[in-house]
Amino acid sequence: MVDFHEFFVAILRSGTPLVYAAMAGVIVQRSGIWHLGLEGIMIIGACATIVGIVLTHSFTIAILAATLTCVAASALQWFVIEKLRANQIIVGLGITGIGIGGTAFAVEIIFGSLAAVSAPFGVPRIGGDFGPYSRLSILVLAMPFVVLAIWVLLSRTRFGLRLAAAGEHPFAARSVGANPSVMRLLAFAAGGILCALAGAELAAGSLQIFAQNMVAGRGFMGFAAVIFGGGHPVGSALAAAFFSLVGVAGIRMQIHFGAFVSHDLLLCLPYLATVLGVWLTSRTRRGTRAAAQIAELQDH
């Protein structure tokens, strides 16, 4: 049983950043845009959290700084897609590049070297007497509630319905007085907050370290979870949990069958699962595709 708990804790630990990133992707997806900048905004959040903790010795200030920078980066992405009408996929990749290059640049000018930065402490832990679970961060504990809250927000509130209208039928949104463009900005801002949490959990949840390019595709995996989960918050969270399960199972298999299968090939499993997921999604639902141009989402 102890082993099961350890296994479950490992899944929670590696899956939580994915779930937060996927939630950011879900909200932005609702507004009609594919959020391929998740990777970049997540690494900005990770970097800002660690640098904030190191410089100010306060977790609160660090997470606020991370939130602010992530929201700013998301707003930039929104601006280029919405106002400059650039291709959303290329812009997403550009934001990812800015996140990876910019954080490396920032770390080098602040600390004078490219070495990994480690912080004295990280996200507060759950604590108490819950065995292996007490070592998890409070962001892990908050994760299921955030997912449920986003589900309620998207399907049970006026804001959520207007957001969906902005993505699916801008004219309908406009006819009830909601500006689709502003709705998308709000979606990106909310996505920025969630990406900051994703980055904070990744860098300060258990490791308390920031290294160059440390997100290593998790943002894209979070995005794939959105597609796999059909854009539904709970479905996407489950998809993210599945990817993380596959990853953790791969590491366990390494321990038991390491002599037969290479470790690096087992690390492929989450990516392969993602491809499989996207393929299954396209077979079951009529393949999800990004809007070709922002003009399709602006009805004027």
Task: Provide the β-strand partners of residue 210.
Answer: 117
- Nearest-angstrom CA–CA distance, 47 and 201: 11
User: Smallest distance from the beta carbon of 282 to other proteins, in angstroms?
Assistant: 4
Shortest gap between Cβ of 130 and other proteins (angstroms)? 34
What is the residue type of 164? A
Residue type, 60: T
In the complex with other proteins, which residue's Cβ is closer, 28 or 146? 28
Fill in the DSSP letter of residue 152: H
d(CA 22, CA 285): 19
**Least CB distance from residue 296 to other proteins, whole Å?**
8
Q: Which is nearer to other proteins, 283 or 300 (CB)?
A: 283
CA distance 62 to 195: 14
Q: Which is nearer to other proteins, 176 or 265 (CB)?
A: 265
Question: Which chain residues interact with other proteins by CB under 8 A?
Answer: 34, 36, 76, 80, 84-87, 89-91, 93-98, 100-102, 104-105, 108-109, 114, 217, 220, 223-224, 227, 262, 264-265, 267-268, 271-272, 274-275, 278-279, 281-283, 286-290, 292-293, 295
Name the 3-class secondary structure at 125: strand
* Beta strand residue intervals within the chain, DSSP E: 117-118, 209-210
Q: Smallest gap, in angstroms, from Cβ of residue 118 to other proteins? A: 19
Q: Closer CB to other proteins, residue 81 or residue 178?
A: 81
Cβ-based nearer residue to other proteins, 102 or 230: 102
Please state, in angstroms and rounded to a whole number, the distance separating the CA atoms of residues 136 and 41: 23
